[in-house]
Amino acid sequence: MSTAVVDYSREEPVIAGTPTAGEIDAVVSAPLDRLPARTWWIALSVTLTMLAIGGACVGATLWYGLGVWGVNQPVSWGIDIVNFVFWVGIGHAGTLISAILFLLRQRWRNGIARFAEAMTIFAVMCAGIFPLLHTGRQWLPLYLTPYPNQHALWVNFTSPLLWDVFAVSTYFTVSAVFWYLGLVPDLATLRDRTIQPVKKVVYSVLSLGWRHSNRHWHHFERAYLILAGFATPLVLSVHTIVSFDFAVSVIPGWHTTIFPPYFVAGAVFSGFAMVQNCLIVVRQMFDLKHLITLDTLEKMNKVMILTGSMVGYAYGMEFFIAWYSGSQFEMFVFVNRALGPYAWAYWTMVTCNVVFPQLFWFKRFRRSIPLMFVIAVLVNVGMWFERFVIVVTSLSRDFLPSSWGHYVPSMYDIGIFIGSLGLFFTLILLFVRTLPVISLAEIKAVSPGAQPGHH
């Protein structure tokens, strides 16, 4: 076995080669200035079709009511809630990359942070659709907010469902502000590059008149640090609170204290898989291979193997605690998950989430783009099924065998999920053509020779 000596005192360069700042500007803003390629239009037509399918199913839900969904007693939380948790989880990778890796001084994040943050925002938008539809009175979302009303009633501040409303809306707002904060200097760069008068006005308004002044950068960096500091506990709190929706109830299989860390690890896991999938396509499409390097993708695979193993540990620990608790219902729920009517979903989840990511222990697989793409897709499938297993198996067979049921999603359920995928990828496609997918200022700051030597 050959042992290559690695010099850890020297930081690996984040980007390949030594592109000048002007070249970085040119390559990143190129997609913004030329007409989209044919493949982009094909992709957009596919995602818009998916969006239209979802729109039709949402329309049917609004018109006929929730009866068109597959939900009923005892499984009143169907794949709508599965999708909600899935999408919120996808969003978590963005904040992890932009905030937590920033605080940990992981400079390789600079190339992918912008894209991951955009993905966070789009994923939370997709997530928001489902609880709203699930309420069944989709014209009364105002009731979720504490506003003074003639009933003199307030919302129930002790309910996890209300915590969820606050957590998800705060998460969306703070992510959007964080994203916009990073965009302001880039928009100013675009403003000074563009020759089209309309774009010039739009970029001028959006960049607020940013002047790249170091008197401003000084505050800007502090604000960025503060926001990263706030976003870090925020992102941990959001999926913790989502897990409280389950953990605070008394349903066997939900009522466990492992849920918050287990959910957060799963969220980061699925989010990294989604970022991985999108970035592989984007760097291919827009010639960004030297800015989003294979080294960066490899580092993401390492995060995936870590979080995937944490999720696998949680699966095992759930079984142990169910047995250790001595509660007949808990024990039954977990035996039922592995061997009951939804065993196929359970084993899909285990295979995709625990088994396949283990391939990343091998450097050859970690650095193979086709393989990591396939594994990332499988992880997304597996993480969707994880939420399905949690939501559906616990509800369908709880305490009384006389009130057991079997849940099958209707075509409207599935259609709305397809629609949310369509919305997500449509927004991604629009994003990559309208805003710089890589933070210009951040990538310039970490390119070789960008910082002065020691004085």
* CB of residue 75 to another protein, shortest distance in Å: 24
Q: Is 249 in the site for another protein (CB under 8 A)?
A: no
| Residue 103 CA from chain centroid, whole number | 19
Contacting residue, 27, 135, 193, 313, with another protein by CB under 8 A: 193
Contacting residue, 16, 37, 42, 208, with another protein by CB under 8 A: 208
- Residue 209 vs 370, nearer CB to another protein: 209
* CB of residue 52 to another protein, shortest distance in Å: 23
Contacting residue, 20, 149, 328, 403, with another protein by CB under 8 A: 20
Residue in this structure with the two tokens 């928009």, named with its chain if needed:
187
Which residues does 275 contact at the CB level (< 8 Å), separation at least 6?
93, 94, 97, 112, 115, 116, 119, 300
Report d(CA 351, CA 383) in Å as an integer.
Answer: 11
Contacting residue, 16, 30, 42, 153, with another protein by CB under 8 A: 153
- 9 CB neighbour count, 10 Å cutoff: 5
**Vertex 290 angle, CA 289 and 293, to 5°:** 70
**Stretch of 53-61, 126-134, 206-214, 334-342 lying at the interface with another protein (CB under 8 A):** 206-214
Residues that contact another protein, how many (by CB under 8 A): 67
Q: By C-alpha distance, which of 423, 415, 405, 384 is closest to 81?
A: 384
Q: Is 197 in the site for another protein (CB under 8 A)?
A: no
Report d(CA 147, CA 29) in Å as an integer.
Answer: 44
Q: By C-alpha distance, which of 171, 318, 127, 160 is closest to 242?
A: 160
* CB of residue 165 to another protein, shortest distance in Å: 9
* CB of residue 421 to another protein, shortest distance in Å: 28
| Residue 286 CA from chain centroid, whole number | 22
Cα distances from 427 to residues 123, 299, 423, in angstroms, run 10, 26, 6
Cα distances from 441 to residues 41, 182, 366, 444, in angstroms, run 29, 9, 29, 5
Q: Is 185 in the site for another protein (CB under 8 A)?
A: yes
* CB of residue 183 to another protein, shortest distance in Å: 12
> Would you say 411 and 268 are in contact if contact means Cβ atoms under 8 Å apart?
no
Contacting residue, 10, 38, 218, 364, with another protein by CB under 8 A: 218
Instruction: Tell which positions 298-337 bind another protein, by CB under 8 A.
Output: none
Instruction: Tell which positions 77-106 bind another protein, by CB under 8 A.
Output: none
- Residue 45 vs 149, nearer CB to another protein: 149
Kindly list the residues in this chain that would bind another protein in the complex (CB under 8 A). Answer: 20-22, 25, 139, 146, 152-154, 156-158, 160, 162-163, 166-167, 170, 173-174, 177-178, 181, 185, 188-189, 191-193, 204-205, 208-223, 226-227, 230-231, 233-234, 237, 241, 244, 440-442, 444-445, 449-453, 455
